Amino acid sequence: MALSTKAQRRTRRSKLMAEINVTPMVDVMLVLLVIFMVAAPMLQVGVPVNLPDGEVNSLPQEAETPLAISVSSSGELYLQNDLVLEADLTARLDEVMADRTSRKVYLRADGANSYGKVFEVMGLLSSAGYTDIGLVGDVPASSN
């Protein structure tokens, strides 16, 4: 039995491939992996959360006057009521803490400050060894 001319040409050039070519499938899977890796963190940011209001009990009074560092709306730092440069804050804090028994520091920040500024001051205090930091805020007036 003689092969047709078309079949003869096919056997001479190439044989039919009976295997599945997985390269396009792997390419698609890698592209999807990259898309999900980029999109997953974006899904976590910006989730709207309604934080609950709550009544808070005030802290018990301490024997010493609490040491407070305040950040004004313009970003100036105050140790108790004295204006302090950011570079001098830890040195001045060490001087004041030498006479105290408690190493607790209260951080008061104006609401107009950015989160970054408050975080920067907390990092400065933490790197200086002051890890007992309390954030001070106002309790909202009750609607009774």
Burial class (CB in 10 A: 0-12, 13-18, 19+), 75: middle
Closest CA to 70 of 115, 32, 106, 97: 106
- Tell me: the pLDDT tens digits for 44-93? 544 454 445 556 666 566 666 778 888 887 888 888 888 888 888 888 88
Q: Is the pTM of this model over 0.85?
A: no
